[in-house]
Amino acid sequence: MGTYRQQPGSSSGGQRRDGKRVAGKQVFPPPGSGGSHPTMRPRDLNFIPETVGGNEPKPAGDHIHDRDRTGTTVGKPTALVDSNAKVTGQAWYGDDVRLPGELIGKILRSPHHYARIKSIDTSRVEALPGVIAVATGEDAPNRFGVLPVTKDEHAMAVEKVRHVGDLVACVAAVDEATAIQALSLFDIEWEELEPVFDPKKGLEDVDEPIHWRGKYHLARTNVQKRVFQEFGDRSLVSSPTASSHGSWTMNGVHHGFTEPHAVVAHWDPNGRLQLYTPQQVPHYTHRALSTVLDVPMHQINVVRTFVGGGFGGKSDPFPHEMCAAILARRSGRPVRITFDREEVYWINRGRHPSHIDVKMTADDDGRISGFDIDALIDGGGFASFGHVTSYYNGVLATAPYELGSFHYTGARVWTNKPASGAMRGHGAVNTRCAVEVGLDEMAEQLAVDPIDLRLANLLPPHSRTISGFRITSNGMREALEKVREGSNWDEKFRQLPLGKGIGIGCGFFISGSGLPIHWDPKNFPHATVHIQVDMDGGVTVHTGAADIGQGSTTAVAQVVAEVLALPIEMIHVRSHESDTSPVDLGSYSSRVTFMNANAAIRAAIGIRDQLLKAAWEMLGYHPNVLVLNDRRIYYKHDPAIGVSYLQALHKAQEDTGALIARGAYRSPPMGGVHKGAAAGLAPAYSFSAYVAEVDVDVETGRVSCTNVWAAHDCGKALNPLAVAGQIIGSCHMGLGQVISEKMVYGRTGHLQNANLLEYKIPSVHEMPHVEPIIVESSDPEGPFGAKEAGEGPLLPILPAVVNAVYDAVGVRLRDLPLTPDIVFKGIEKHMKRLKIDDPEDLPCPRLEHGPLQPTLVERSNEHRIRDQRRQRSEDTSAYVNGVLFGFDPNVPLADQVEGWREADEPLPDQLAELGFAGRAWLKKEQRHMGGES
């Protein structure tokens, strides 16, 4: 023990200029501020929570991970660990993978919207010199799909093609020119079928539905999924004081990621498949490859390359990945397939084109008595994530407001267009926009400020939504208050001159899907992280978390560095190969940081415990009184007594070799029992509020967004730099959907703008100044309190802009995007109504507060106190949606209110009055039709 005792020196003099110590003459900093090594950084108390002796404020109270904080990196702006590779051009994306002897694969695509393939003759293709392998749908008859319940895709069309651009066949040739030439040599006999483009027609019975689901097929329609959900007391909506009814048409939008899809497949000499692909969800590709190729999963290694942007568009297992594998198997050589931009649009998986009908009501107390949402979403040719999207369009609108009742009907239909899928803000974006604009309209009818209307109707922290979601931390109120203050709202709203407007919008999103797609609670947790530390002290972290540019690798490195008090440069994250990384369910539903960082913390604690145990042996002090700081472990009350990190490490691995630890995360059981209760369940939810300022050119209808104040509750910003980046990036992406981006399907059903010139992503000129405001509500289950920041921040920008346009010109628009022609048309109609000739004479909306305004302010003041108490766990009583309406949270609501209902199917007498998508409930499944079809 004495060996490690370092003699304290005198407090003055004895220091060398070069920083090296003079024996016995070392100056020691005060206890707790650092160890004895002169190069050691003192403990950064500003980043150690006040609950464990630091200076970092914790207004929401203590957190389970507070004692694991070392002040190393969490909460500090940190450059992404892979940024050097990216800025020097050394990051290897899908198309950068070059294997010796590679062939170039090309895909033959359907020229028809909907057609039966009667025959394919490949003989002329095979005869072309330079063509090494050819494959068609027959070569891969096994179906796959991202969701196990809706596997409706093939590697290449089997029997039918379902949209222009659908995969028909593929070739591998010695070079690209030969492969392109080969595509013109296929001889195919087609039988064209009657296509469907209009999703409204998708509800009708047709001769040849796009897919056939056997006994589960809904009559002979093209309905892929229908949803009905009803909660609460519907009698509350009967005589509303204010109401809003909006019919929305939202065009489909695409992710517009920079990197087109690219894949390289190679069967190694042992017959194992090595597949290189920029995937958000390598594990599902892994599963799908196994199914399609009839090869066990352990004979496949999926290598995730760097991903040049995904946003949901690279989260399905893709047919071209199958094609590359099939061609490589057939040719015995590596095959590379890289998409053109047009092919990227044809594989699509962007946001669903949607018709959304929202009716909302408020009572004379300014309480929101009902949401009635009907969403018809256009799925295109395949199911993709659509089953989930169908639910999300409704259920993700059940918070952050307390509702008297909630009614949702949704239907997703197949049409002969490229498949829609998951895109940043999955399923929540369009409905959220409709709902937030409806609130704005109701606030106007009630003559109250729309921010106060929201503040007086928020669910508190630690509550249950009307549909049964468990809300934990909730920073909604703080977000609203901060943007109100930051934007100077009270001096601008309804007071700006014509053509200038300001608007508010909120958001609510899941932070990790509580019941992920392929999750099998009996077999594996949500996320697993392995850590290995060898004698050199470097920490290797194995995770399957797919970094798609959002910074998940950095987040994992940060939390490990934080727990072990090591510089982040000593943490090496290995996450590319399925051979070496534990199973991870992928980068979707904003789950990665929440779940992987939680798993990484646990694994890092495992390593820390081994190090502390060794230090205990060496120093004789129990781990409870040992401190980790910057590569040192020392006695809390006398930092002179300590060992270096390496000394402890070497001691710890004396008998065992490299230290190994693993950690996992599993979310707690949650949710109700009704059908679809799992959709939208998450261990935590993020909240956001944005205020947008716009200029509208009243003569041309051109909208430009000039300023955005963007507050997002991410629980705890592990890396504020990355959170701000996500907020600003989300603003850009959401702004695209609200002002200029749309997938245009012309009168013939063809996608008219499958390129980046005509698909109009906002340029730097359209980008407003964004002020990111980070709200930290400290989630009890999040890693160090963190929640998601990748998707939620996109939601509020849409309604904020739409509401700001109304503030500017007095026109409510419900067709997205608000391209100049749409806005102009709205202004023209408005002028006609008002009998005005010159748009410069348009009146601006103005607000005179009504009698309800003080009531709302008073209520929100009371609720602020309620929320603070609940957030700090000073009040741990139950709170369920409905308390605002006078219900007792401790008694089941159905026992208190006669009309209270929790339903997943319409009552017979409701059938006649369902919304458009709801009419899917008029149809019967084949198994219930008894022969009539």
Nearest-approach distance from CB 737 to another protein, in angstroms: 14
151 in contact with another protein (CB under 8 A) = no
Segment near another protein (CB under 8 A); pick from 95-103, 104-112, 496-504, 571-579: 104-112
348 in contact with another protein (CB under 8 A) = no
In the bound state with another protein, the residue whose beta carbon lies nearer, of 248 and 824, is 824
Residue 250, token pair as written in the block: 């939202």
Segment near another protein (CB under 8 A); pick from 226-234, 497-505, 751-759, 925-933: 751-759
Cβ atoms 587, 552 nearer than 8 A: yes
Closest CA relative to residue 925, chosen from 408, 102, 224: 224
764 in contact with another protein (CB under 8 A) = yes
838 in contact with another protein (CB under 8 A) = no
| One-letter amino acid of 149 | V
Helices (H) and strands (E) in the chain, counts: 19, 30
Nearest-approach distance from CB 199 to another protein, in angstroms: 21
763 in contact with another protein (CB under 8 A) = yes
422 C-beta neighbours (distance < 10 Å), count:
30
Nearest-approach distance from CB 343 to another protein, in angstroms: 9
3-state DSSP of 811-867: CCCCEECCCHHHHHHHHHHHHHHHCCCCHHHCCCCCCCCCCHHHHHHHHHHHHHHHH
In the bound state with another protein, the residue whose beta carbon lies nearer, of 740 and 803, is 740
| Residues paired with residue 713 on neighbouring β-strands, in sequence order | 687, 775
Within residues 685-714, the interface with another protein by CB under 8 A covers 699-700
90 in contact with another protein (CB under 8 A) = no
Cα separations (Å) of 664 from 510, 554, 605?
Answer: 20, 18, 12
In the bound state with another protein, the residue whose beta carbon lies nearer, of 179 and 429, is 179
C-alpha torsion angle, residues 487, 491, 495, 499 (rounded to 10): -30
172 in contact with another protein (CB under 8 A) = no
In the bound state with another protein, the residue whose beta carbon lies nearer, of 215 and 765, is 765
Burial of 707 (0-12, 13-18, 19+ CB in 10 A): middle
Nearest-approach distance from CB 530 to another protein, in angstroms: 42
270 in contact with another protein (CB under 8 A) = no
Nearest-approach distance from CB 847 to another protein, in angstroms: 30
Q: Where are the alpha helices (DSSP H) in 372-486?
A: 386-395, 429-446, 450-455, 476-486
261 in contact with another protein (CB under 8 A) = no
In the bound state with another protein, the residue whose beta carbon lies nearer, of 28 and 190, is 190
766 in contact with another protein (CB under 8 A) = yes
Q: Select the residue interacting with another protein from 636, 750, 830, 849 (CB under 8 A).
A: 750
H/E stretch holding 555 reads helix 552-564
Segment near another protein (CB under 8 A); pick from 174-182, 232-240, 554-562, 584-592: 174-182
Question: How many residues of this chain interact with another protein, rule: CB under 8 A?
Answer: 33
753 in contact with another protein (CB under 8 A) = yes
819 in contact with another protein (CB under 8 A) = yes
Segment near another protein (CB under 8 A); pick from 55-63, 173-181, 318-326, 651-659: 173-181
In the bound state with another protein, the residue whose beta carbon lies nearer, of 106 and 651, is 106
290 C-beta neighbours (distance < 10 Å), count:
18
In the bound state with another protein, the residue whose beta carbon lies nearer, of 112 and 576, is 112
Nearest-approach distance from CB 819 to another protein, in angstroms: 6
Report d(CA 543, CA 82) in Å as an integer: 15
- Phi, psi values for residue 212, rounded to 5°: -125, 125
Cα separations (Å) of 884 from 227, 365, 402, 466, 474?
Answer: 27, 10, 7, 12, 17
Q: Select the residue interacting with another protein from 121, 189, 192, 342 (CB under 8 A).
A: 342
List the x/- string, 710-749, binding to another protein by CB under 8 A.
Answer: ------------------------------x-----x-x-
Q: Select the residue interacting with another protein from 63, 255, 304, 760 (CB under 8 A).
A: 760
Nearest-approach distance from CB 830 to another protein, in angstroms: 15
Nearest-approach distance from CB 164 to another protein, in angstroms: 5
854 in contact with another protein (CB under 8 A) = no
491 in contact with another protein (CB under 8 A) = no
Q: Select the residue interacting with another protein from 109, 217, 255, 712 (CB under 8 A).
A: 109
Strand, helix or coil for residue 165 = coil
Cα separations (Å) of 607 from 383, 558, 653, 663?
Answer: 43, 15, 11, 10
Strand, helix or coil for residue 216 = helix
111 in contact with another protein (CB under 8 A) = yes
Closest CA relative to residue 708, chosen from 809, 801, 817: 801
Closest CA relative to residue 497, chosen from 832, 807, 704: 807
164 in contact with another protein (CB under 8 A) = yes
3-state DSSP of 313-341: CCCCCCHHHHHHHHHHHHHCCCEEEECCH
Strand, helix or coil for residue 146 = coil
Q: Select the residue interacting with another protein from 322, 728, 754, 856 (CB under 8 A).
A: 754
Q: Select the residue interacting with another protein from 159, 176, 654, 858 (CB under 8 A).
A: 176
820 in contact with another protein (CB under 8 A) = yes
C-alpha torsion angle, residues 627, 629, 632, 637 (rounded to 10): -40
Residue by residue, DSSP assigns 184-210 as: TT-EEEEEE------GGGGGS--SS-S
Nearest-approach distance from CB 340 to another protein, in angstroms: 6
Report d(CA 178, CA 167) in Å as an integer: 19
Nearest-approach distance from CB 381 to another protein, in angstroms: 14
Q: Select the residue interacting with another protein from 765, 848, 908, 931 (CB under 8 A).
A: 765
Q: Where are the alpha helices (DSSP H) in 241-293?
A: 282-293
180 in contact with another protein (CB under 8 A) = yes
Segment near another protein (CB under 8 A); pick from 23-31, 57-65, 520-528, 758-766: 758-766
Residues that bind another protein (CB under 8 A): 109-112, 164-165, 176-177, 180, 340, 342, 699-700, 740, 746, 748, 750, 752-754, 757-758, 760, 762-766, 819-821, 824-825
